[in-house]
A and B are shown apart, each in its own frame.
Chain A
Amino acid sequence: MSTFLELEHVTKTFGSGGLFKSDSVTVAVDDVSLTIDEDEPSIVTVAGESGSGKTTLARLLLGSHVPTTGRMLYRGKDFTKLTRRERRSFRREIQPIFQDPFESYNPFYKVDHVLEEPIKNFKLTSSDSEKNRMIDEALEMVGLVPNETLGRFPHQLSGGQRQRVMVARALLLKPRVILADEPVSMVDASLRATILDSIRRLNRDLGISVVYITHDLTTAYQISDNIMVMYRGTVVEAGTVDAVIPNPQHPYTQLLVESIPQPDPKHRWGSEPPQQNWEVVDTDIIGCKFSDRCPAVMDQCHKVRPPQFLIEQHQMATCFLHEENKEMGSPDITSTFQMESETLKAAPRGD
């Protein structure tokens, strides 16, 4: 087992100190420890509502934010102490796919441009024929026909095709990890399936680890192996999707699961849940961050921050309701995840 990336007690805060000293500090990511392993590639979902810190976590993993406290290790080495060469290989090995498949393009260039650029930047090859072969191969891998895709402008492709070209771009660099931040939220529901399917195939066929950032638990359940749920920067629940989604243990995860609009008119939502109170500054919350909205709130929730309780092998929740369980030995939430070697999954359907 060799680790690709490790976060150790990472906290990221915004808005403190500096020239414009302000009282309100936003704790976007609050003491998160996790590991991304490369020998055991899995799909991990990071779920949570806007403001939960999931995009900040993604930026930390991409190295575009530096932790305020705690540290990130890349292949065992402190990220801030990497040499130029190591930093370069890091940037090749982890590739992002962003939310809006249109904004990632320059509308004046043909789509070929986004595929040629990484080859040039990372000097993957100098021969034109080799370059074309690599591009064709990457496009085919995501289910696109090269001569129907290349030579076109971004606006001539559908949202689904545009997003799949982005997946192909990431693939060119043979990354170890793909970080997909809401890759389907801007795409028509009927086209989502093809994109998610191509992401899943990367994981199963090419052994790439995927971090899938979303608020959509239905697709998370369908494509990922493991999940971590964030609320105001804290990981409130983590484990395998098969443990967490059918049987959520943290009241916030329960609210998320209940709020999924199920396509079944016979099972409608219950009463309207309370709104999040953004008036309260993160640093003023002493106890559990969800306590002001929690239907099961207890006295101690307002006073003490709940630790991570291990409910069973593959599920943990940061909630006093589970006090009878023992606390997690290691803060690394990934220890609740299930790795490829432990599971035998149905073979992917190739089409």
Chain B
Amino acid sequence: MSTEQAIKTYREGARISDVDALVVEDLSVYYETDSGTVKAVDGVSFVLKQGERFALVGESGSGKTTLAMALMRLTRPPGHIANGNIILNGRDLTTIDEDEMRRARLSELAMVPQGAMNSLNPVMRIQNQIADGILDHLGENDDSPSKQQLQETVQDLLSRVGLRPGVARLFPHELSGGMKQRVAMAIGISLQPSLIIADEPTSALDVVVQRQIMQTLGRLQEGLDASIMLVGHDMGLVAQFADTIGVMYAGKLVEIGPVDEVFGDPKHPYTKLLIQSLPSLQEKKEFIGIPGLPPELIHLPQGCSFEDRCPSRFEKCSVEVPEKIGLGGRREVACHLYEAGGST
């Protein structure tokens, strides 16, 4: 067991390189509405290493999907990127023009969308949907591939996501939910992106299929040596899959750190409650949700957004927004409790 453990640790260590694949700096996404500005994502910064599996968690409305869409630069009006930089492989995605961004999508960063089963075209055969992205990204000087070459590529992609060759000729309605999700993954990896964004890729699937899909996704990501950002609210899935976790609350990243450290010793009171409220198979206990509701993003409180639900709040929390504090290693938390002389 211990040797096995050691090999596993070594592999995980080797998977993540020291190269920063993605640097997100002070990113804000605002929605301008008649009743005011909605700060859906507010000053979020984090770094993703090459080969790293980063999970972004938060409840509905915390801004996690908005952030994922902003990374793809798919934010729709009235939403807009108000501030910040998204640096992927050394290039700032917020400054490039739409045409260049269009080429970057799929080839440099690809998204496996939420409910991928609804993102396939119902009247197109699977092989054509997979080939579509490849053909669209041909440069002006590239020869278009022969039918044969395309077919081989499609077959290769299908086998990598664990689908049999016959699937190529089928239509989406002929596939199960898990198979459609696999097709979406095949499209996602078709141009070997260095960053895969997976937004709740398994939310509508049952446990065994969910596990198979996540394990396939992990295998593909390792094969490409890509980084992955998993967006979701299932803490169990995060614990199974990710290296690093970022916790979002009301548009802000409140805690970030290696998965085992954060699960073992959560720092932010919200993360603590989130982990405590998980039902487990070890013991039967009463369900404890987190009392209260998140604030409306249009009327954020003056101080910490979590203040009214927080069991450890003190005076400062209602007046001042907590800044991010480094706790050593890659751990950071945005909470007044951890400021020098902050707690009790």
Contact = CB atoms under 8 A, between A and B. Distances in A.
A349 B235 contact: no
A215 B206 contact: yes
Interface in B240-286: 240, 259-260, 263-264, 274-275, 277-281, 284-286
A194 B290 CA distance: 10
Contacts of A260: 207, 236, 281
B281 A261 contact: no
B59 interface: yes
B210 interface: yes
A221 B284 contact: yes
A161 to B, nearest CB: 11
A18 interface: no
B240 A262 contact: yes
Given A188-B233, A265-B263, A197 B287 contact: yes
Given A218-B280, A222-B284, A265-B260, A259 B236 contact: no
Contact of B209 (A49, A159, A197, A245): A49
Given A49-B208, A51-B176, A269-B215, A262 B277 contact: no
A269 B236 CA distance: 11
A273 B207 CA distance: 12
A90 B193 CA distance: 57
A329 interface: no
A43 B256 CA distance: 39
Interface string B213-252: 0111001000000000000011111111000000000000
B289 A191 contact: yes
A272 B239 CA distance: 17
A216 B210 CA distance: 11
B105 interface: no
A298 interface: no
Contacts of B178: 275
Contacts of B209: 49-50
Contact of A263 (B59, B205, B235): B235
Contacts of A222: 279, 284-285, 287
Interface residues of A, number: 43
B233 A189 contact: yes
Interface in B106-139: none
Interface in A200-227: 215-219, 221-222
A266 B236 CA distance: 12
B287 A193 contact: yes
A271 B211 CA distance: 10
A196 interface: yes
A221 B287 CA distance: 12
Given A221-B281, A221-B284, A49 B240 contact: no
B206 A49 contact: yes
Interface string A268-282: 110111010010000
A246 interface: yes
A256 interface: yes
Contacts of A259: 207-208, 210-211
A190 interface: yes
Nearest to B206: A215
Given A51-B176, A188-B59, A188-B60, A263 B275 contact: yes
10 contacts: A190-B290, A196-B287, A217-B281, A218-B280, A221-B279, A259-B207, A260-B281, A263-B236, A264-B263, A273-B211
Interface of B: 59-60, 162, 176-178, 204-212, 214-216, 219, 233-240, 259-260, 263-264, 274-275, 277-281, 284-290, 293
A-B pairs, 7 with minimum CB distance: A261-B236, A193-B287, A215-B206, A193-B289, A259-B211, A272-B215, A49-B206
